[in-house]
Homo-oligomer: A and B are copies of this chain.
Amino acid sequence: MTIEKALVVGTGLIGTSVALALRDKGVAVRLTDVDVLALRLAVELGAGEVWTGEKVDLAVIAVPPQLVGERLADLQKQEVARAYTDVASVKAGPIADAVRLGCDQTSYVPGHPLAGRERSGPAAARACLFSGRPWALCPGSETEADAVRLVRDLVSMCGAKAVTVSAGEHDTAVALVSHAPHVVASAVAASLSAGDDVTLGLAGQGLRDVTRIAAGNPLLWRMILAGNAVPVADVLERIAAELVTAASALRSGDLDELTELLRRGVSGHARIPGTPVSPG
């Protein structure tokens, strides 16, 4: 049994992109959103039809992390789907909410597609957004195999690669590879307020790359960071300590440790999958 009809709850960037990808695979997609304008735009973009309460095979909950548990509880109470997943970029919080609200854990497969854009909203959605990207799945001990199978079908239809991890591992991992780097990029971009237009005129591609993700929606990122606060704080403090040490080294003129940081940076960068190892 596979996905013939799906419901996407929340027609922002991620939800609408999921809907478009499923439509491309011939799935009947129903959409709902508390934001009527976003819902109408997603329908106009061909992402699916407005949901009128009918049953579906899979419900994809694409709302901010803090609202996932509540929405899951509502949908399960109406017995809307055979399986449920979400796309929130943190996992421990939504799962704890679901437990607290007495949700059925057997049909819920917490998920997180590692994909995004600086733009948000349905107009920025693309069917190919997840193509080749990792998609974390965090099934618990109670999750039924059928539910996992259905959500893996979703991941596969979106062209992504399923990666199974525990919720705790996931949150620590994304703090390191996504959430803390976002805050650091914001801090670098914010530091540019100290520069005049001549200074900014000397900026190059390097600065553009370092700060690109800082263009993301501040309110969306506030919610993401709030949902993963301690792991992110841990990484930020480690990076801040490296920068303070580097600054001291520059002031003292003893640059061996700084050179070592630059070397560790080269090694760390080379470990990112898809990074070509520079031959030169």
**A-B CB contact pairs (8 Å), 17 listed:** A114-B203, A116-B206, A163-B202, A172-B199, A173-B195, A177-B200, A180-B191, A187-B242, A189-B266, A190-B264, A191-B268, A200-B272, A214-B265, A215-B265, A218-B263, A233-B251, A237-B244
Of A226, A251, A265, A273, most buried by chain B (CB within 10 Å of CB) is A265
Closest 3 CB pairs of A and B: A186-B265, A119-B280, A189-B268
Q: A120-B280, A247-B233 are in contact. Are A186 and B264 (CB under 8 A)?
A: yes
Known pairs A178-B203, A189-B265 / 12 extra A-B pairs, C-beta < 8 Å: A177-B195, A177-B200, A181-B188, A181-B211, A187-B239, A189-B264, A200-B273, A203-B273, A209-B212, A215-B265, A229-B251, A233-B250
Residue A140 interfacial (CB < 8 Å): no
Write the nearest CB–CB distance from A12 to chain B, whole angstroms.
Answer: 11
Query: In whole angstroms, how far apart are the Cα atoms of A57 and B271 in the complex?
Result: 47
| Across-interface contacts of A127 in B (CB, < 8 A) | none
Residue A75 interfacial (CB < 8 Å): no
Instruction: Provide the A262-280 mask, 1 if CB < 8 A to any CB of B, else 0.
Output: 1111111111111100111
| Across-interface contacts of A229 in B (CB, < 8 A) | 250-251, 253
Chain A binding surface SS class = helix
Among residues 162 to 189 in chain A, which have CB atoms less than 8 Å away from a CB atom of chain B?
163, 165, 169-170, 172-174, 176-178, 180-189
Interface size class for chain A?
35 or more
Residue A99 interfacial (CB < 8 Å): no
Closest to A135 in B: B202
Write the nearest CB–CB distance from A22 to chain B, whole angstroms.
Answer: 21
Query: In whole angstroms, how far apart are the Cα atoms of A170 and B202 in the complex?
Result: 9
Write the nearest CB–CB distance from A206 to chain B, whole angstroms.
Answer: 4
Q: A118-B278, A202-B173, A255-B226 are in contact. Are A191 and B239 (CB under 8 A)?
A: yes
